């Protein structure tokens, strides 16, 4: 049976130094990393504090779009977990090993060997971030009218597919669209929906199937190993390539260990996942634990050659791909560190606790708590704001005004394109890796709780400017009734 939020196992290896092994495996090992960071802090960065009046001015000047607010005016920045990690001492040391040769940098070979070992894929093509990996893949394989299924496409994959004339189709299980349904693997793909796409457009129109681990747009929810197996079998049966969007592959593997999807070492679970597919795109700004970096990894020789040729055109030579040699070294180190089970136990535990605090205050969030973020459910938080008035964006702005907290809207502003509104109106509070402590997140939970008590005073927004693609980055809005 799936236990209640608080009773849920968080996992984490037993700590031999602390004593009785059986006892530790029972509950103490879990609790250690739930309560305590498995790292010490070597460098600190001062947090900005700004007055409410300054925040109100910043918000109005930003066009009610927190992307336009300078970071010096943000107290706790939960806009994204992407590129915002703190690097370890070993990663900073790795930077000193940078070999900035144009061709054949030794850092590339370490990076290549690391990715090959972790994923099992043969060809490793470095890019400066995830969307370039997507761009390279989709410009090579997607033709006008092609359909690309995914559990839920992230906005950059969707935009890159559409930019090439393709159609991005979301095939996640129905439960993913109900924030109140609490099941362990809410990122799973619905195989019947894959069958439906196949029936409608035919095999020739599906150049690949993607699976996003964890499913960012649906609440950071994990995909089970069993589901990945089913997707793999489906793809093999129909001769369609299977590619992961692997940004949070280690968090996904850890969830499988603690929620009952898989056993063994994290590295082995990761390998088992990757072995089911033909390749992946990766933004290493997440589970690569670096501030910049990404890659495409593939087994197919011909596709890799085509992508490499494209890489030379838009990013750089195949042994650096838009990155400095030192960045490749730090990325290789980060890819190793993220597999540490103690690190993952703390990471997932920290976010789980953050979610529990919000639940205790009655704040509506997406259940279960995902891997890299807590998602506020704006439809339930602000039922008085209709979807056309961007409730999740209104809540994002209100959080900034209330406590200098920056989240990101994942709702109509991001996804209502071509006149269709998404099912979910969420505010994602994404937690950077190894950056904030529990007390920072307690502060954010208090800000959310205060705001929830005053929710009736929050007003909807209307657009005053929108760009044709990925409009949420640069959109400008104003409160309804402002003019
Ligand atoms: C994020 F507001 N994610 O979650 P790149 N796939 C997946 C991602 O989560 C992802 C990429 C591909 C970000 C950054 C971000 O509108 C936004 O390295 C599952 O960012 O190119 C990125 O990787 C792309 C935030 C991206 C946004 C777009 O915060």
Q: How confident is the model over 142-168, as pLDDT tens digits?
A: 999 999 999 999 989 999 999 999 999
Q: Please say whether the dihedral angle defined by the alpha carbons of residues 112, 114, 115 and 120, taken in this order, is positive or negative.
A: positive
Mutate which of 69, 82, 132 for ligand 1? The one with the most ligand atoms within 8 Å of its CB, which is 82
pLDDT over 70 percentage in the chain: 93
422 three-class SS: coil
**Which of 130, 161, 214, 471 should be mutated for ligand 1, with most atoms under 8 A from CB?**
130
Mean per-residue pLDDT, 374-381? 97
- For residue 7, pLDDT over 90 is answered with no
Helix (H) or strand (E) holding 14: none
Give the residues surrounding ligand 1 with Cβ less than 6 Å away: 80, 82, 129-131, 154-157, 212, 216, 245, 247, 283, 285, 294, 408, 430
* Residue having the nearest C-alpha atom to atom 11 of ligand 1: 130
Q: Residue 336 has what pLDDT?
A: 98
| Residue 36 binned pLDDT confidence (cut-offs 50, 70, 90) | confident
Give the pLDDT band (50/70/90) at residue 415: confident
Predicted pLDDT at 26? 35
pLDDT of 331 > 70? The answer is yes
Residues 6+ apart with CB under 8 A from 285: 82, 83, 84, 85, 129, 130, 247, 291, 292, 293, 294
Kindly state the average pLDDT of the residues 422-434.
95
pLDDT tens digit string along 226-246?
A: 999 999 999 999 999 999 999
Question: Is the pLDDT confidence value at 13 over 70?
Answer: no
User: Looking at residues 430-442, what average pLDDT do you find?
Assistant: 97
Measure the CA–CA gap between 427 and 55, rounded to whole angstroms: 19
**pLDDT number for residue 12:** 53
Model-level pTM?
Answer: 0.93
Instruction: Return d(Cα 169, Cα 194) in angstroms, integer.
Output: 9
Residue 81 CA to ligand 1 center (angstroms) comes to: 9
Considering the chain, what is the average pLDDT of its residues?
A: 93
> What is the pLDDT, as a whole number, of residue 420?
87
Give the per-residue pLDDT at 29: 39
Looking at residue 133, what is its pLDDT? 98
Cα–Cα distances (Å) from 193 to 153, 160, 165, 268, in that order, read: 14, 22, 21, 30
Q: DSSP character for 214?
A: S
């Amino acid at each position: 049976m799936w236990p209640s939020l608080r009773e849920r196992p968080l996992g984490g290896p037993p700590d031999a130094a602390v004593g009785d092994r059986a006892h530790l495996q029972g509950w103490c090992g879990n609790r250690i990393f739930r309560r305590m960071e498995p790292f010490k802090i070597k460098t600190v960065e001062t947090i900005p504090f700004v007055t409410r009046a300054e925040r109100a001015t910043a918000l109005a000047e930003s066009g009610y779009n927190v992307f336009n607010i300078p970071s010096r005016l943000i107290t706790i920045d939960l806009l994204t977990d992407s590129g915002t990690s703190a690097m370890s001492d070993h990663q900073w040391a790795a930077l000193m090993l940078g070999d900035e040769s144009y061709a054949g940098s030794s850092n590339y070979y370490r990076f290549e060997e690391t990715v090959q070992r972790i994923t099992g894929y043969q060809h490793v093509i470095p890019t400066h971030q995830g969307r370039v990996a997507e761009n390279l893949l989709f410009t090579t394989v997607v033709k006008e009218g092609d359909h690309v299924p995914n559990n839920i496409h992230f906005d950059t994959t969707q935009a890159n597919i559409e930019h090439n004339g393709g159609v991005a189709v979301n095939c996640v299980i129905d439960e993913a669209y109900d924030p109140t349904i609490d099941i362990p693997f809410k990122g799973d793909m619905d195989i019947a929906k894959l069958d439906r796409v196949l029936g409608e457009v035919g095999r020739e129109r599906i150049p690949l199937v993607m699976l996003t681990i964890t499913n960012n747009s649906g609440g950071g929810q994990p995909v089970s190993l069993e589901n990945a197996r089913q997707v793999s079998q489906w793809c093999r049966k129909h001769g369609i390539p299977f590619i992961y969007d692997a940004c949070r592959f280690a968090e996904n593997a850890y969830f499988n260990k603690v929620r009952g999807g898989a056993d063994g070492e994290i590295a082995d679970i990761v390998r088992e996942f990757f072995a089911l597919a033909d390749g992946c795109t990766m933004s290493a700004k997440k589970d690569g634990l670096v501030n910049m970096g990404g890659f495409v990894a593939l087994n197919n020789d011909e596709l890799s050659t085509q992508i490499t040729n494209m890489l030379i055109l838009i990013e750089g030579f195949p042994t650096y791909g838009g990155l400095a040699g030192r960045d490749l070294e730090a990325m290789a180190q980060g890819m190793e560190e993220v597999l540490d089970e103690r690190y993952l136990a703390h990471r997932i535990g920290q976010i789980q606790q953050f979610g529990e605090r919000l639940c205790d205050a009655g704040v509506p969030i997406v259940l279960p708590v995902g891997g890299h973020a807590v998602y506020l459910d704006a439809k339930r938080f602000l039922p008085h704001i209709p979807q056309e008035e961007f409730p999740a964006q209104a809540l994002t702005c209100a959080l900034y005004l209330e406590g200098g907290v920056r989240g990101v809207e994942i709702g109509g502003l991001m996804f209502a394109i071509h006149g269709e509104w998404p099912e979910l109106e969420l505010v994602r509070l994404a937690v950077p890796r190894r950056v904030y402590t529990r007390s920072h997140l307690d502060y954010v939970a208090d800000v959310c709780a205060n705001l929830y008590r005053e929710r009736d005073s929050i007003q909807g927004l209307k657009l005053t400017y929108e760009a044709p693609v990925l409009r949420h980055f640069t959109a400008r809005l104003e409160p309804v009734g402002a003019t």
